[in-house]
């Protein structure tokens, strides 16, 4: 039976961490697992939220247009069966604290006036009145309370919603097994920082509301979270912006917020009793500006909305890898921690030159290197117009390859779109960096991020657009020489009359004839599996 | 070498040469087919292999016939006259030999193509999906 894993991504950083987690699923790092993803954000129109939705749509379609076709698999790309849920507190009509809590009426209700007095004691006027549609803006004292009540309200709602569906799955899993719940988010911003401390209590309470008498999630499940400290900065707001927004998050406070949050997580008894593993992740400085690229130089502070579409950062992959580590942690270890009530605070110091083991540890570094590296090759085989491999196989244009004519074309359209988000989107009109290229840039570019620098430089620029460099020797230039300790021999020669594609196709035909993927029902997934095996063999990778 | 009608081996020699040429045609076609790389997208590399297979077969037949011209002078008898009966036999043997070159190389190739349908050589047969 497939394993179950419950992940919540909260706030803008949480959304990007989920993106990285989905890419890990695409690499095949969550074999034979149903991953339940709950994206939780206050800012429904956020650009990062939109990109995440696009990414998960592609992933789901890649596995099958019908949800019934999607099953967890092993040793292949897109092996995890994703179930996606999202929840946003509704701040469309009531968009600030005073409106949500009916402050006006309460203040003049003699029996409840004390509640508004209490609110006034801990919240300033500006905090009570700022627009919540762009999140909690680093006001975590407000955010924790608002998020908790939003979750409880959604559980009490008579109409079905994604949150209830997620909790139903969690309840079911808790009754049959010990569920693992992991929370991705930052501790220095607004929504994530507000929610991490209260989420276990909130979802446990909400789960008991939707299924009275069911197992106590808080007691039965294991909880882990990232403690993601400040790692980026953005433009300081002008005086006019400060005045118009009432409350605005400024990145110069992120380091201080992080420090205070870490002290809280080190000290708070509830947190210690709730979480079994906390992964402390951060960078040395905040020099990274995710919204600034050569083509985009914002002149104002972006508080949220569609404009807020931050580039991804390698630290988000570290956070997603923390989720993987938590998932792979044996239950007895977590049970012991839960019993003692003292969580494990985990961290790992890494060099400027990032290595595979920095993300997944020494036990999984080879598997990670294989799956990540060959997924990049799969992306090239899909995106380069001179290859267009999966679609040419489906359409019969690769006339030597049989058995894939009944693939649903929508799956391969989604595959191509997915790889544009994963790697690069190259057209004569524009070049759009995908996740991998953004991560490389965040690490400092060149060979600092896991791979041979040539893989992020495989495009010939022509004006604003470009074309793929057909001379790129992907048979030999995927991995760095510096990683020879794990990737030694992971390349192949092509011979005088051959080329990398020729060698790949020859091996593909051989693998396809060996019926290695015959047990997989979905023909598209059979194709992914055959490509997975083929690339493993031509690169001489031994598991 | 002057051919004599009472020499029992010359016809066998010519036919054996045809078999050898047919095998050479097959081997060259096979090697060439495997030297032509697969192509991405709309893979038309099998057409190149097919063309080269035809080229080698034609070249084999032509080369074999060239040998006929090379040996032509040897039909003259000692007085410098042409021995027409020997020449007729020779021509017929050569025609049979040429047919053997083309047919044998084609048959062997087709059998190997069928047996190795998923190889580059097998791709000469065309669509396999």
DSSP chain B: ----TT-TTHHHHHHHHHHHHHHHHHHHHHHHHHHSPP-SSS--HHHHHHHHHHHHHHHHHHHHHHHHHHHGGGGB-TTS-B-HHHHHHHHHHHHHHHHHHHHHHHHHHHHHHHHTTTSTTGGGG----
Averaged over B30-38, what is the pLDDT? 96
- Any idea what DSSP says for residue A453? G
Relative orientation angle of helices A356-383 and A523-538, to the nearest 10 degrees: 120
Averaged over B8-13, what is the pLDDT? 79
**Percent of chain A at pLDDT exceeding 90:** 50
Averaged over A255-278, what is the pLDDT? 84
Contacts from A440-446 at CB under 8 Å and sequence distance 24+? A441/A311, A442/A288, A442/A290, A442/A311, A442/A312, A442/A313, A442/A314, A442/A315, A443/A314, A443/A352, A443/A354, A444/A352
**Burial environment of residue B4 by CB neighbours within 10 A (0 to 12, 13 to 18, 19 or more):** exposed
Residue with tokens 């996740």: A435
pLDDT at residue B80, as a whole number: 66
Task: Check if the beta carbon of residue A57 is closer than 8 Å to that of residue A84.
Answer: no
Question: Residue A383: closest CA among chain B residues belongs to which residue?
Answer: B41
Disruptive mutation site among A377, A393, A399 for chain B (greatest number of B CBs within 10 Å): A399
pLDDT of residue A306 exceeding 80: no
Task: Check if the beta carbon of residue A55 is closer than 8 Å to that of residue A421.
Answer: yes
Say which of B35, B36, B40 has its CB closest to residue A387. Answer: B40
The pLDDT confidence band at residue A116, using thresholds 50, 70 and 90, is confident
- Which tokens go with A75? 């040793």
The pLDDT confidence band at residue B33, using thresholds 50, 70 and 90, is very high
The pLDDT confidence band at residue A481, using thresholds 50, 70 and 90, is confident
Q: Which of A97-106, A301-310, A492-501, B103-112 has the highest mean pLDDT?
A: B103-112
The pLDDT confidence band at residue B37, using thresholds 50, 70 and 90, is very high
pLDDT of residue A154 exceeding 80: yes
Taking contacts as CB-CB distances below 8 angstroms, the residues of chain B near A377 are none
Measure Cα distances from A54 to A51, B99, B105 in Å.
Answer: 5, 64, 57
pLDDT at residue A108, as a whole number: 84
pLDDT at residue A415, as a whole number: 97
Give one DSSP letter per residue of A291-339, joined into a string.
T--SS----S---SSTT--PPP-HHHHHHHHHHHHHHHS-HHHHHHHHH
pLDDT at residue A191, as a whole number: 81
Taking contacts as CB-CB distances below 8 angstroms, the residues of chain B near A402 are 128-129
pLDDT of residue A300 exceeding 60: no
pLDDT at residue A139, as a whole number: 78
Averaged over A366-378, what is the pLDDT? 96
- Any idea what DSSP says for residue A198? T
Mean pLDDT of chain A: 87
> What CA–CA distance (Å, rounded) separates B21 from A542?
45
**Percent of chain A at pLDDT exceeding 70:** 92
pLDDT at residue A98, as a whole number: 84
Averaged over A136-142, what is the pLDDT? 76
Task: Check if the beta carbon of residue A437 is closer than 8 Å to that of residue A466.
Answer: no
Task: Check if the beta carbon of residue A433 is closer than 8 Å to that of residue A459.
Answer: no
pLDDT of residue B128 exceeding 80: no
> How many angstroms away from the CA of A76 is the closest CA of chain B?
22
CB contact under 8 Å between B40 and A401, yes or no, is no
CB contact under 8 Å between B35 and A497, yes or no, is yes
pLDDT at residue A236, as a whole number: 67
Question: Residue A387: closest CA among chain B residues belongs to which residue?
Answer: B40
- Which tokens go with B77? 């008898």
pLDDT tens across A159-214, in order?
Answer: 999 999 999 999 999 887 789 999 998 888 778 788 888 899 999 999 999 988 77
Taking contacts as CB-CB distances below 8 angstroms, the residues of chain B near A384 are 40
Between positions 472 and 501 of A, the ones with CB within 8 A of B are 497-499, 501
Q: Which of A115-119, A493-497, B37-41 has the highest mean pLDDT?
A: B37-41
> What CA–CA distance (Å, rounded) separates A277 from A476?
39
Say which of B36, B41, B123 has its CB closest to residue A386. Answer: B41
CB contact under 8 Å between B38 and A506, yes or no, is yes
CB contact under 8 Å between B38 and A502, yes or no, is yes
Strand partners, A9: A39, A184
pLDDT at residue B71, as a whole number: 64
pLDDT of residue B76 exceeding 80: no
**Burial environment of residue A336 by CB neighbours within 10 A (0 to 12, 13 to 18, 19 or more):** exposed
pLDDT of residue A444 exceeding 60: yes
pLDDT of residue B118 exceeding 90: no
pLDDT of residue B126 exceeding 90: no
Q: Is A397 on the interface with B (CB under 8 A)?
A: yes
Task: Check if the beta carbon of residue A530 is closer than 8 Å to that of residue A374.
Answer: no
pLDDT at residue B72, as a whole number: 61
The pLDDT confidence band at residue A504, using thresholds 50, 70 and 90, is very high
- SS3 (DSSP) at A457: coil
Taking contacts as CB-CB distances below 8 angstroms, the residues of chain B near A509 are 118
> What CA–CA distance (Å, rounded) separates B98 from B72?
16
């Amino acid at each position: 039976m497939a394993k179950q894993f419950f992940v919540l991504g909260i706030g803008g950083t949480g959304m990007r961490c989920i993106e990285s987690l989905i890419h890990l699923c695409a690499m095949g790092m969550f074999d034979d697992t149903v991953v339940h993803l709950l994206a939780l954000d206050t800012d429904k129109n956020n650009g990062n939220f939109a990109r995440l939705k696009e990414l998960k749509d592609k992933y789901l379609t890649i596995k099958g247009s019908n949800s019934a076709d999607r099953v967890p698999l092993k040793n292949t790309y897109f092996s995890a069966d994703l179930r996606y849920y999202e929840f946003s507190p509704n701040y469309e009509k009531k968009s600030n604290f005073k409106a949500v809590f009916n402050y006006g009426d309460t203040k003049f209700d003699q029996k409840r006036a004390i509640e508004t007095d209490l609110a006034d004691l801990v919240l300033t006027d500006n905090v009570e009145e700022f627009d919540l549609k762009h999140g909690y803006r680093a006001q975590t004292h407000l955010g924790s309370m608002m998020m908790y009540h939003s979750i409880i309200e959604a559980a009490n709602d008579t109409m079905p919603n994604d949150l209830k569906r997620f909790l139903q799955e969690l309840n079911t899993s808790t009754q049959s097994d010990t569920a693992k719940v992991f929370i991705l988010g930052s501790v220095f911003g607004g929504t994530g920082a507000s929610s991490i401390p209260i989420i276990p209590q909130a979802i446990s309470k909400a789960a008991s509301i939707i299924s009275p008498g069911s197992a106590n999630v808080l007691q039965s499940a294991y909880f882990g979270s990232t403690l993601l400290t400040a790692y980026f900065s953005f433009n300081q707001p002008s005086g006019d912006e400060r005045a118009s927004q009432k409350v605005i998050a400024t990145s110069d406070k992120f380091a201080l917020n992080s420090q205070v949050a870490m002290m809280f997580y080190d000290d708070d008894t509830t947190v210690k009793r709730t979480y079994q593993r906390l992964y402390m992740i951060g960078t040395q400085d905040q020099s990274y500006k995710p919204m600034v690229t050569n083509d985009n130089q914002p002149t104002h502070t972006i508080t949220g909305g569609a404009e807020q579409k931050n580039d991804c950062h390698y630290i988000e992959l570290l956070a997603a890898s923390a989720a993987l580590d938590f998932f792979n942690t044996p239950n007895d270890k977590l049970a012991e921690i839960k019993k003692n009530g003292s969580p494990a605070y985990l961290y790992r110091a890494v060099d400027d030159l990032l290595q595979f083991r920095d993300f997944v540890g020494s036990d999984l570094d080879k598997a990670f290197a294989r799956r990540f590296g060959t997924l990049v090759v799969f992306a090239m085989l899909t995106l380069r117009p001179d290859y267009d491999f999966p679609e040419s196989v489906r359409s019969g244009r690769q006339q030597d390859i049989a058995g894939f004519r009944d693939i649903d074309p929508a799956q391969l359209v989604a595959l191509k779109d997915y790889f544009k988000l994963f790697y690069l989107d190259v057209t004569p009109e524009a070049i759009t960096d995908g996740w991998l290229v953004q991560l490389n840039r965040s690490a400092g570019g060149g060979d600092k991020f896991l791979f041979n620098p040539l893989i992020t430089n495989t495009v010939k620029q022509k004006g604003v657009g470009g074309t793929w460099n057909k001379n790129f020797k992907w048979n030999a230039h995927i991995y760095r020489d510096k990683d020879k300790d794990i990737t030694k021999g992971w390349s192949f020669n092509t011979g005088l009359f051959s080329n990398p594609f020729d060698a790949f196709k020859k091996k593909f035909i051989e693998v396809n004839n060996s019926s290695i993927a015959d047990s997989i029902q979905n023909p598209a997934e059979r194709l992914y599996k055959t490509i997975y095996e083929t690339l493993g063999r031509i690169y001489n990778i031994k598991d | 070498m002057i051919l004599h009608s009472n020499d029992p081996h010359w016809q066998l020699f010519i036919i054996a040469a045809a078999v050898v040429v047919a095998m050479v045609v097959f081997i060259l076609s096979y090697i060439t087919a495997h030297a032509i790389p697969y192509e991405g997208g709309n893979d038309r590399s099998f057409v190149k292999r097919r063309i080269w297979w035809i080229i080698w077969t034609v070249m084999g037949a032509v080369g074999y016939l060239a040998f006929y011209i090379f040996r032509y002078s040897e039909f003259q008898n000692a007085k410098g006259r042409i021995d027409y009966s020997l020449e007729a036999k020779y021509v017929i043997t050569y025609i049979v030999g040429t047919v053997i070159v083309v047919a044998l190389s084609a048959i062997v190739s087709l059998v190997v193509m069928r047996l190795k349908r998923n190889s580059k050589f097998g791709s000469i047969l065309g669509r396999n999906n």
